[in-house]
Chains A and B, each alone.
Chain A
Amino acid sequence: MSDNPVRDAIQEAIADHEIILFMKGTPEQPMCGFSARTAAALEALGTEYAAVDILPDPRIRQELSAISNWPTIPQLFVKGELIGGADIVHEMYESGELAQALGVQPPADAPQEAPAATEPRAPPLQIDNNLTQS
């Protein structure tokens, strides 16, 4: 472990979860429209994913952006790779590329617009719990 427990926890979370979304708020209660839209695209594809709320600790966002070289939230990672933020995920959802990247079938009646948020399939990941120990 390095002397940066927040960075370690984020890197571990990215490595441990095939699909992981860093967002403001939670899939049930997003705190930003961009995060809401991105979570909704994942919900619409019916894929399991981990979600991390970056709001409880400002260091999460700071370290995440340092790792990913990406300044904004949300950030979607698949198999350890940054796929994109809200705009790219939305474009990929509409083109069918997102389903492909996630390894799922797009719904036959896929709407043209990303739908509103629905019930999440995975409980939010509480990364901040790991970080307050140090």
Chain B
Amino acid sequence: MPSPDELKERIEMAIPGARADVHDLTGGGDHFRATVIAPEFGDLSRIEQHRLVYAVFGAEIGGPIHALSLETRAE
């Protein structure tokens, strides 16, 4: 079962310069909410920003990670 810390670490490792804040929404280890701030988001649309974060987890989204709610910004 993925933990918020594990998700945070994987996002920050995969996206250069990213800072992530991840919460388990239900305590069940499968519904998460992540706020991700990364410099490279500056050139991307919101859809593309979310795609980058989803891409970190590939097929795990919809599988072990049932839901990953996102807020992304460049800042």
Contacts and interface: CB of A to CB of B under 8 A. Distances in A.
A91 B50 CA distance: 13
A71 B62 contact: yes
Interface stretch (B1-9, B15-23, B63-71): B63-71
A91 B67 contact: no
Interface string A52-92: 00000000010001000111100000000011111110010
Contacts, number: 33
Contacts of B71: 87, 91
A82 B69 CA distance: 17
A86 B33 CA distance: 12
A34 B69 CA distance: 9
A70 B51 contact: yes
A71 B59 CA distance: 8
Given A69-B51, A71-B54, A82-B47, A87 B69 contact: yes
Contacts of B69: 34, 86-87
Range of interface residues on chain A?
Answer: 10 to 19
A85 B51 contact: no
B46 interface: yes
A72 B46 contact: no
Nearest to A82: B47
Interface in A77-119: 82-88, 91
A72 B47 contact: no
B51 A72 contact: no
A65 B51 CA distance: 12
